[in-house]
């Protein structure tokens, strides 16, 4: 294993020589509920696009928004820019994961759902299905959950894989099946990724939201390494990727998640720089685009935690702290991905970038 221990310095210095991979994935989520023109997406810098989200309605995968059909057609048309582009649709997400546990608990409902996934894929011309169950064995947004979710999740993936393969035999095609995973110990404990990955083409590890809306304390939400200033050592990108490796997932199947947004805390109790301080509000999402506009107005002081390799912003005048992702952070993460032979990078979400600044850095680093 390439990390070995929890000391930041040792983790930073223990990576092996770069492992060559000519097929790094760059996977961008495109949120159908955002007010964004999908025709503006630069498909030449992406290998995969995941359209988010489909819901689970009456046990079947289904698109719920009136604008979904038109937006999906636009995404599929991006293959004219990039003929090798793969377009998938993602089921679930934070809001629409409430039906997973019950659906996955029974053989007949798993089969019904798997068949609906294939039907939806064929209807719109997708190349695969991505499941974003947040989270097996955990409450998430007050969702039902069961101890049996751990085994049922693997059974569900096996059923979908079978249905996709059966359909693929009809036209000599391989349809993709992927998942987005949590980054912490609890997610690993409540799943069996060593078995589940056998049915998957790759896994998108959500290496962000380490500090988020439930935390009334500021902190880095997507730091690459543990921060020496964080006594609780909440999480880090290297920790998240290591957990997945130890769970039995091959490195080349692991895709590192990167946020195109920051987390903002207001009313922070601090007289220094706001990092790891108490706040009267949780960490709310702010797009990279909006943060760049605020910085241009001189609103924030740009800061950097060298131990964590993480950028942050501080406004003393209104006691606001922001953990955010910059091109500098992405450069370090793409180097980390290449050094360790991972499968590539995923990001949430395309419309949150500003003038493709973060995407261009990601593309340059991996391609």
Q: Is 134 a catalytic residue?
A: yes
SS3 for 173? coil
CB 160, CB 129: distance < 8 Å: yes
Q: Which residues are 348's β-sheet partners? A: 259
**Nearest in space to 193 (alpha carbons), one of 222, 139, 157:** 157
Rg (CA), the chain: 20
3-state secondary structure at position 96: coil
Say how many residues make up the chain.
367
Distance CA 254, CA 145 (A): 26
**Site of tokens 């377009």:** 87
Q: Which two tokens stand for residue 22?
A: 């000519």
Query: Which two three-digit tokens encode residue 89?
Result: 């649709």
DSSP-derived secondary structure for 124-155: HT-SEEEEE-S-TTS-TTT----TTHHHHHHH
CA distances from 258 to 140, 206, 282 (A): 21, 7, 21
From the list 18, 34, 134, 141, the catalytic residue is: 134
**What does the DSSP 8-state code read for residue 165?**
H
Active-site annotation, residues: 134
């Amino acid at each position: 294993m390439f990390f070995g221990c929890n000391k930041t310095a040792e983790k930073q210095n223990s990576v092996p020589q770069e492992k060559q991979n000519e097929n790094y994935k760059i996977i961008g989520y495109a949120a159908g509920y955002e007010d964004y023109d999908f025709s503006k997406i630069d498909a030449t810098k992406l290998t995969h696009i995941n359209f988010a989200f489909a819901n689970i309605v009456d046990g079947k995968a289904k698109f719920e928004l009136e604008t979904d059909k038109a937006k999906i057609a636009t995404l599929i048309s991006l293959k004219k820019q990039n003929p090798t582009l793969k377009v998938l649709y993602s089921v679930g997400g934070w809001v629409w994961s409430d039906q997973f546990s019950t659906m996955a608990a029974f053989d007949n409902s798993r089969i019904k759902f798997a068949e609906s996934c294939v039907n939806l894929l064929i209807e719109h011309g997708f190349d695969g299905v991505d499941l974003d169950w947040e989270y097996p064995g955990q409450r998430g947004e007050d969702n039902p959950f069961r101890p049996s979710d751990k085994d049922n999740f693997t059974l569900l993936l096996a059923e979908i894989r079978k249905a996709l393969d059966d359909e693929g035999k009809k036209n000599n095609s391989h349809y993709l099946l992927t998942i987005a995973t949590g980054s912490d110990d609890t997610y690993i404990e409540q799943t069996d990724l060593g078995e589940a990955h056998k049915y998957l083409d790759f896994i998108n590890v959500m290496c962000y939201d380490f500090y988020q809306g439930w935390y009334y304390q500021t902190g880095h939400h997507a730091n690459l390494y543990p921060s020496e200033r964080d006594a609780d050592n909440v999480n880090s990108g290297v920790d998240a990727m290591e957990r997945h490796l130890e769970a039995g997932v091959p490195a080349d199947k692991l895709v590192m998640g990167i946020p195109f947004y920051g987390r903002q805390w207001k009313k922070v109790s601090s007289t220094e720089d706001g990092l790891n301080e108490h706040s009267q509000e949780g960490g709310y999402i702010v797009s990279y685009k909006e943060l760049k506009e605020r910085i241009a107005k001189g609103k924030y002081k740009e800061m950097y935690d060298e131990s964590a390799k993480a950028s942050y912003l501080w406004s003393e005048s209104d006691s606001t702290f922001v953990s955010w992702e910059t091109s500098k952070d992405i450069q370090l993460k793409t180097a980390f991905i290449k050094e360790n032979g991972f499968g590539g990078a995923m990001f949430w979400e395309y419309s949150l970038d500003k003038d493709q600044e973060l995407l261009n850095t990601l593309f340059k680093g991996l391609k």
